[in-house]
């Protein structure tokens, strides 16, 4: 179900992050004006990236777990344990809480990639059980 996912986490200026180009197969999640997560769900290790900012903080972050859901499953999960809904326009990044676990979502037309910090993955997995 939830699997550990390495990703690249970059904190930099908004302009430098605006200029980032994703490598083939990777996805850039803009989680804040000054932060992105870059992930490649099919790869064990994220591709290196170049940021046009000498002060940028670039780390490989192993503290996340991922699961890919159908849009319907994601909507049902949010209906039961969230107080928000998926964005209609895709692709899009959505962030919020499921139960009290902080999650980040990469929402595509019919699939949703869910990211959760490993420290909260245990609780989220419990909420994802059908009878939770």
Partner 1 sequence: MSSGEFTFDGRSVEVQNGDRMLDALVRAGVHPTGGGTLCFGGDCANCVCTVDGVAYVRACQEPAEVGVSIASHGGGAPPLPSVDLEPASIRAMFRRVDVVVIGGGEAGQTAFADARAASRSVVLFDVHAGEEVLAVYSGPLVLVRTRSGIERVACDEVIVATGAAEIQPIVPGSDLRGLWTARGAEQAQRAGARLDALVAVGHVPESLGATALEGDLVRFVDGGSGAVAAVVTRVGGTEIETPCENVIVSLGLVPRNALARMSEPRCTTVVGDAAREGALPAVPTEGVICPCSNVTVSQLDDLYSRGFHHMELLKRSSLAGTGTCQGSVCTPYLRSLLHDRGQELQPAFTARPMGRQATLAELAAGSELPTLARTALDGVHRELGARMDRMGGWWRPWSYGDVEAECGAVRERVSIGDTSTLGKMILAGPDAEATLQGLFPTDVSTIRPGRSRYALMLNERGYVMDDGMIARESDGTFFVTFTSSGASMAEMWIRDWSASWGHDIRLLNQTTSVGTINVTGPQARVLLERLTDEPLPPFLGHVTLTVGGIDCKVFRLSFTGELSYELHHGVHESVALWNLLMEAGADLGIEPHGLDALSRLRLEKGHIIVGQDTDYDSSPRRLQHEWAVNLNKGDFIGRTATVRTNQLELDKKLVGFEADGPLREGAVAYHDERFAGTLTSTTWSPALGRWIAMGWLQSLDGAFPESVMIDGVSAAVRSTHFYDPEGSRPRA
Among 47, 56, 93, 125, binds partner 1 (CB under 8 A): 56
What residues numbered 13-32 form the site for partner 1, per CB under 8 A? none
Task: Judge whether 26 and 40 are in contact, CB under 8 Å.
Answer: yes
92 binds partner 1 (CB under 8 A): no
Dist. CA 77–CA 69, nearest whole Å = 10
**Count, residues near partner 1 per rule CB under 8 A:** 35
104 binds partner 1 (CB under 8 A): no
Tell me which long-range contacts 107-110 makes (C-beta under 8 A, separation of at least 24): 107/71, 107/74, 109/71, 110/70, 110/71
Tokens 């992050």 correspond to what residue?
Answer: 17
Which CB atom, from 17 or from 24, has the smaller least distance to partner 1? Answer: 17
Contact partners, residue 97, CB within 8 Å, separation at least 6: 82, 103
Among 2, 41, 99, 111, binds partner 1 (CB under 8 A): 99
Residues found near partner 1 in the complex (CB under 8 A): 4, 6, 9, 11-12, 34-35, 55-57, 59-64, 78-85, 99-101, 117-120, 122-124, 127
């Amino acid at each position: 179900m939830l699997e550990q996912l390495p990703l690249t986490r970059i904190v930099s200026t908004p302009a430098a992050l605006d200029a980032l180009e994703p490598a083939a197969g990777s996805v850039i999640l803009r989680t804040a004006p000054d932060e992105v997560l870059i992930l490649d769900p099919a790869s064990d290790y994220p591709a290196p990236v170049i940021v046009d900012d000498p002060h940028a903080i670039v780390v490989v972050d192993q503290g996340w777990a991922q699961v890919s859901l159908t849009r319907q499953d994601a909507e049902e999960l949010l209906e039961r344990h969230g107080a928000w809904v998926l964005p209609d326009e895709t692709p899009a990044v959505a962030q919020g809480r499921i139960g009290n676990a902080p999650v980040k979502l990469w929402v595509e037309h019919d699939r949703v990639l869910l990211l959760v910090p490993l420290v909260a993955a245990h609780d989220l997995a419990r909420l994802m059980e059908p009878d939770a």
